[in-house]
Amino acid sequence: KVSEELLGSPFRCTGIAYEKHKIVLVVNLSIIPETLPEILERAFIKLQAEMSKVLDYTISIGIGNCVTGAQNVGESLDHALEALKLKILTGYGSIHFWCKPDESSQGYFYPYTQEKHIFNNIQAGLGEKIKDSVNEFIRSVKDHGSIGYDNVVLIFNQLIGNTMKYLLDMHCPIGSVLGDDCNLYQELASLETLDEIQLWLNQLYEKILNYFQ
């Protein structure tokens, strides 16, 4: 209701509950002003402020591209959902506009050097240095100029796979180190921002270090 009121003044807007913890707003306009992104961003910032008064959690927003005809609204929704995934890089409460991926910069990126530092510091038993290495790993992902959501997911899946390989190479039973019911990939998939992943990785490597000690 609040969304419709904020956006319904300059445009025609309707909202629906899309799925758990998501709503979709369809904004209809006859003429696209050049300042549309600024208008929408101001409206959504105001929406976030209004909702923070009554909700205990933040609102992240993904905005799809403009399309012609109701039959193409699904395309805009798909783009909005893709844009929303970028909160993994910027954190909760962020607003993202969808833009066409730059195909020239889609090469796979992985911070191999930072990963090596993590395992070297585990081997040396240096707890604080491990945290520094994890922070460097996260920072290298954040600072990479053009990295997409899929690449980010692959990076951390690869790191978890290499961590389990490292434990096996060290003849450590993974169940004894992490617990028999532990599913690292499932836990990782439940995390939505780099800040959450950073905290989780620090806890993971602390467990591993404690086992070695």
pLDDT category, 94, cuts 50, 70, 90?
Answer: very high
Q: What is the pLDDT of residue 1?
A: 85
Going by DSSP bridges, is the β-strand pair 95-97/61-63 parallel, antiparallel, or unpaired? parallel
For residue 72, pLDDT over 70 is answered with: yes
pLDDT category, 99, cuts 50, 70, 90?
Answer: confident
- 108-166 residue pLDDT tens: 899 999 999 999 999 999 999 999 999 999 999 998 877 888 999 999 999 999 999 99
- 17-33 residue pLDDT tens: 998 889 999 999 888 88
Please compute the mean of the pLDDT values over residues 179-190 and round it to a whole number: 89
- 186-198 residue pLDDT tens: 999 999 999 999 9
Q: What is the pLDDT of residue 32?
A: 85
- Residues 97 and 80: beta-carbon distance below 8 Å: no
For residue 83, pLDDT over 90 is answered with: yes
Cα(78)–Cα(64) distance, integer angstroms: 7
| pLDDT-above-90 percentage for the chain | 64
pTM for the complete prediction? 0.82
Residue-wise DSSP of 6-52: HHTTTSEEEEEEEETTEEEEEEE-SS--TTHHHHHHHHHHHHHHHHT
Cα(103)–Cα(146) distance, integer angstroms: 10
